[in-house]
Chains A and B, each alone.
Chain A
Amino acid sequence: MLDTLKLPERHYLNNGHGLKSWLLTKDHKRIAIMYLISISVMFLIGGLFAAAVRVELMTPEGDLFLADTYNKMFTMHGVVMVFFFLIPSTPAVLGNFLIPPMIGAKDLAFPRINLLSLYLLWVGAAFFFYALFAGGVDTGWTFYTPFSSSASNSNVVPTALGAFISGFSSILTGLNFIVTIHRMRAPGLTWFRLPLFVWAHYATSLIQVLGTPVVAITIVMVAVERMFGFAIFDPVRGGDPVLFQHLFWFYSHPAVYIMILPAMGVISEVVSTFSRKTIFGYSFVAFSSLAIAVFGFLVWAHHLFVAGISTYSAMVFSFLSFAVAIPSAVKTFNWAATLYKGAISFETPMLYAYGFFGLFLIGGLTGLFLATLGVDIHVHDTYFVVAHFHYIMVGGAIMGYLGGLHFWWPKLTGRMYSEFFSRISAILVFVGFNLTFFPQFMLGYMGMPRRYHAYPDEFQVLNIMSSAGAAVLGVGYLLPVLYFLWSLKRGEVAGPNPWGASGLEWQMPSPPPTENFKEQPVVHGEPYEYTPHVAREANLV
Chain B
Amino acid sequence: MSNAVAHAEAHGHAVHHDALQHHFETMQQQKEASTLGMWVFLLTEVLFFGGLFFAYLLYRVWYFDAFAEASRTLDISLGAFNTAVLIGSSLTMALAVRSAQTNQRSATVRWLISTIVLGCVFLGVKVVEYADKFEHHHVPGPHFISESPWAAQEQLFFSLYFTMTGLHALHMIVGVGIMSVITWMAAKGKFDEHYYTPVEMAGLYWHFVDLVWIYLFPLLYLVERHN
- Given A175-B37, A217-B51, A228-B140, the answer on whether A502 and B1 have CB atoms closer than 8 Å is yes
Are B40 and A238 in contact (CB-based, < 8 A)? no
Complex-state Cα separation, A53 to B29, whole angstroms:
51
Query: Among A178, A180, A230, A534, which residue has its beta carbon within 8 angstroms of that of B162?
Result: A230
Kindly identify which residue among A212, A213, A217, A524 contacts B5, using a CB–CB cutoff of 8 Å: A524
Residue numbers in B under 8 Å from A214 (CB-CB): 47-48, 50-51
Q: Is the CB of A209 within 8 A of B40?
A: yes
Q: Once the chains bind, are A520 and B2 in contact (CB under 8 Å)?
A: no
Give the residues in chain A near B52, CB-CB below 8 Å.
217, 221
Residue of B nearest to A524 (CB): B4
Chain B residues bordering chain A, tally (CB within 8 A): 52
Instruction: Indicate if B81 sits at the interface (CB-CB under 8 A).
Output: no
Residue A81 lies at the interface, judged by CB distance under 8 Å to chain B? no
Does A165 sit within 8 A of B, measured CB to CB?
no
Q: Using CB atoms, name the residue of chain A closest to B32.
A: A183
Given A183-B36, A224-B163, A229-B142, A525 contacting B4 (CB threshold 8 A): yes
Tell me whether B40 and A212 are in contact (CB under 8 A). no
Q: Which residues of B contact A526 (CB under 8 A)?
A: 1, 4
Please state if A520 and B48 are interface contacts (CB–CB under 8 Å): no
Complex interface residues of chain A between 489 and 541 (CB less than 8 A to chain B): 497, 501-504, 506-507, 515, 517-531, 533-534
Do A522 and B7 form a contact, CB below 8 Å, given A220-B163, A230-B141?
A: yes
Q: CB of B25 within 8 A of chain A?
A: yes
Whether A183 lies near B62 (C-beta < 8 A) is no
A240 with B58: CB separation less than 8 A: yes
The answer to whether B44 and A221 have CB atoms under 8 Å apart is: no
Closest to B62 in A: A238
CB pair B1 A529 closer than 8 Å: yes
Contact for B58 among A187, A218, A243, CB less than 8 A: A243
Contact check, B5 vs A232: say whether CB atoms are below 8 A apart. no
Contact A230 B163 (CB under 8 A): yes
Interface membership of A171, Cβ < 8 A: yes
- The answer for the CA separation of A282 and B100 in the assembled complex, in Å, is 46
As a 0/1 sequence over residues 44 to 64 of chain B, the CB contacts with chain A under 8 angstroms (1 = contact) are 110111111011001100110
Question: Does the CB pair A527–B1 fall under 8 Å?
Answer: yes
Q: Closest CB-CB distance, B39 to chain A, in whole Å?
A: 9
Given A178-B36, A236-B152, A524-B6: A217 touches B1 (CB 8 Å cut-off): no
Quick check: which of A38-46, A57-65, A105-113 contacts chain B, the rest being far away? A105-113
Decide if B33 touches A243 in the complex (CB within 8 Å).
no
Q: Which residues of B contact A229 (CB under 8 A)?
A: 140-142
Q: Which of A251-271 contact B (CB under 8 A)?
A: none
Contact indicator A520/B25 (Cβ below 8 Å): yes
Once the chains bind, are A523 and B156 in contact (CB under 8 Å)?
no
**Does A239 sit within 8 A of B, measured CB to CB?**
yes
* B153, CB-defined interface residue at 8 Å: yes
Give Cα A529 to B25, complex, Å.
Answer: 28
- Candidate in A232, A517, A522 with the most chain B CB atoms within 10 angstroms: A232
Q: Is A231 an interface residue (CB 8 A)?
A: yes
Contact yes or no, B37 A109, CB < 8 A: yes
Which residue in B22, B45, B66, B158 is a CB contact (below 8 Å) of A213?
B45
In the assembled complex, the Cα of A225 lies from the Cα of B159 at a distance in Å of 8
Inter-chain contact B3/A533, CB cutoff 8 Å: yes
Instruction: Verify A503–B40 contact, CB threshold 8 A.
Output: no
CA distance A528 to B3 in the complex (A): 11
Asked if B47 and A213 make an inter-chain contact with CB atoms under 8 angstroms apart, the answer reads yes
- Closest A residue to B143 by beta carbon equals A229
C-alpha gap A243/B5 in the complex (Å) = 53
On chain B, the residues within 8 Å of A11 by CB distance are none
Candidates B2, B8, B54, B152; contact of A237 at CB < 8 Å = B152
Q: Which of B7, B44, B66 contacts A520 (CB 8 A)?
A: B7
**Would you call A232 and B163 a contact (CB within 8 A)?**
yes
* A525→B139 CA distance, assembly (Å): 64
| A309 vs chain B, min Cβ distance (A) | 14
CB-contact partner of A221 in B1, B10, B55, under 8 A: B55
Cβ-based interface call for A323 (8 A): no
A106 in complex: contacting residue of B8, B11, B23, B139, CB < 8 Å: B23
Binary per-residue interface labels of chain A (141-177) against chain B in the complex, 1 for a CB within 8 Å, 0 otherwise? 0000000000000000000000000000001000110
**B 122-167 contacts with A by CB, 8 A:** 139-142, 152-153, 155-156, 158-160, 162-163, 167
Among A213, A218, A502, contact of B44 (Cβ-Cβ < 8 Å): A213
On whether the beta carbons of B8 and A522 are closer than 8 Å, the reply is yes
Say yes or no: A179 contacts B3, CB within 8 Å: no
Pair A218/B51 contact, Cβ less than 8 Å: yes
- A237 contacts B47, C-beta separation under 8 Å: no
Q: With an 8 A cutoff between CB atoms, is B41 at the interface? A: yes
Chain B residues, CB < 8 A from A501: 2
> A503–B1 contact, CB under 8 A?
yes
List, in ascending order, chain A residues with CB within 8 A of B167's CB. 220
The distance from the CB of B30 to the nearest CB of chain A, in whole angstroms, is 9
Report whether B8 and A183 are in contact in the complex, using a CB–CB cutoff of 8 Å: no
Note all chain A residues with C-beta closer than 8 A to B160.
Answer: 232
List the B side residues contacting A110 at CB < 8 Å.
33, 37
**Residues in B neighbouring A423, C-beta threshold 8 A:** none
Of B1, B8, B37, which is within 8 A of A519 by CB? B8
Q: Assuming A221-B163, A533-B3, A534-B2, what are 14 further A-B pairs, CB within 8 angstroms?
A: A106-B22, A107-B22, A110-B37, A179-B40, A184-B24, A209-B44, A210-B43, A221-B52, A229-B142, A230-B141, A230-B159, A239-B59, A520-B8, A521-B7
Can you list 14 contacts pairing A with B, beta carbon distance less than 8 Å? A113-B37, A179-B37, A193-B1, A213-B50, A217-B50, A229-B141, A230-B158, A237-B140, A237-B152, A238-B153, A240-B59, A503-B1, A523-B4, A525-B4
Closest 6 CB pairs of A and B: A525-B4, A229-B141, A217-B51, A230-B159, A213-B48, A107-B23
